[in-house]
Structure 1
Amino acid sequence: MILRLGPSMLCASVLALTCACEILPASEARPAVLTNPTAQSRAELSRVVSEALHGAPVRLAEDALAHDSVLIIGRVQARDAAGLPLNGRELDKPQHFRLVEHAARCFLIQESTGKRWRLRSATCAPAPGGASG
C-alpha cells in the first residue's frame, strides 16, 4: 500500500511539525529570576535539572533562581569517616544553568549543551538590572 500525500496534506504536516517546536531566539531572551516559587514549580525545576544530568538526583535550595538567574550544580562527593574524598580529587566540572524569560515564559538553559526547557509551572520576571550572575 502506497500512501500519497496531496500538496495540502503535506503543507499541513510541515506546519504541524514546525509548530510543535518552541523556538527561543537568544537575542530576545532576558536573564530572569523566579517569582513566587511554589512547591510545584520547585519540583518541576528539580525534575528538569535531574533530567539534564541524566537522571542524577539533585537537591536544590528553596530559593534557587529566586535571587539570581544562574544555577550552578556541583556533584556531591562521597567521603570517608575522616571527611576525605573516596575517589580522590573530583574532576567533573559543575554544570551551569541559566533562567531566561521570553514572551512571558520561563526557560532553563543548560550552558554546556545549549539545551532548553520551558518551565510551565514557574513564573519569572527579568532579573534585577538584567544581570546574569
Structure 2
Amino acid sequence: MKFKAYYISALLMGCSFNISEHSAHALLITPSIESRHYIEQIIGNLRNSQAVKLADNVFTKKSTITIARKQAWSDTHVLLNERDISVPETFTLLIHNQKCYIRHNQTEIVRLLSRIKCKENIY
C-alpha cells in the first residue's frame, strides 16, 4: 500500500509543470459582463470564497490587478485587530498554448480560465 501511494504521488509530480514559468502575461480579447463574472468567481475561489467585484475593463490594459482585503471595522468605525492590516493580493492573467490562466501571485496557485479568450500582452 505504501508503494502505491508513493508511485501515484511521484507520477503526479512528474506530470506537472509550473505554468508561470512557461507562460506570458495576457489581456482579454473580448471582455464582456459574462467574462467578468466568470473571472470574479475564479478569483473569489482563489481568495477562499471571498467575493470580489471587478471593473468592467479588468485585464484589458494591464495583466495584473491588485485587490485590497477588506479590513474589519467596529460599529464605532474603529479598525479592529489593528496589528492585522492585510497586504493587498495580486492576480495576473497568463496565456500558455492559447489557453488563459489566472495566477494568485502570493500563493502562486494557477487556475485555467476555460471560458476566456486572451492574447499575449506585448507591452
What is the count of residue pairs matched by the alignment?
111
Structure 1 counterpart of 2:49, one-letter code: G
Q: Give unpaired runs (5+ residues) of structure 2.
A: 1-7
Q: Are residues 106 and 61 of structure 1, via their aligned partners in 2, closer, same or farther at CA, if it must alter by over 3 Å?
A: same
**Shift of residue 90, structure 1, vs aligned partner:** 6.1
Alpha carbons 2:65, 2:92 under 8 Å: kept: yes
Larger radius of gyration: 1
Is residue 52 of structure 1 aligned with residue 46 of structure 2?
A: yes
Instruction: From 59, 63, 81, give the equivalent of 1:65.
Output: 59
TM-score by length of 2: 0.75
In the other structure, the counterpart of 1:32 is 26
TM-score by length of 1: 0.70
Question: How far, CA to CA, are the matches of 1:81 and 1:61 in structure 2?
Answer: 29
Displacement after TM superposition at 1:75 (Å): 1.9
Could you tell which deviates more after superposition, 89-98 or 114-123? 89-98
Partner Cα separation in structure 1 for residue 98 and residue 16 of structure 2: 14
Q: Deviations over 1:13-53 (max 9, x none)?
A: x8xx86xx875543320011111112221111000111111
In percent, how many aligned pairs have the same letter?
A: 23
Match of 2:3 in 1: none
- Output the CA distance in 1 between the equivalents of 2:60 and 2:16: 24
Q: Which residue of 1 aligns with 2:37?
A: 43
The aligned counterpart of 1:74 is: 68
Contact 1:24-1:102 at 8 Å conserved across structures:
no
Q: How does 1:1-133 map to 2 (within 5 A)?
A: 23=17, 25-77=19-71, 86-87=79-80, 88=82, 91-129=85-123
Q: Distance in 1 between matches of 2:119 and 2:78?
A: 40
Unaligned stretches of 5+ in structure 1?
1-13
Q: Distance in 2 between matches of 1:32 and 1:24?
A: 17
Quote the Cα distance in structure 1 between the aligned partners of 2:117 and 2:105: 21
C-alpha displacement of 1:79 = 5.9
Going from structure 1 to structure 2, the CA distance change for 1:80 and 1:22 (only over 3 Å counts) comes to same
RMSD: 2.6
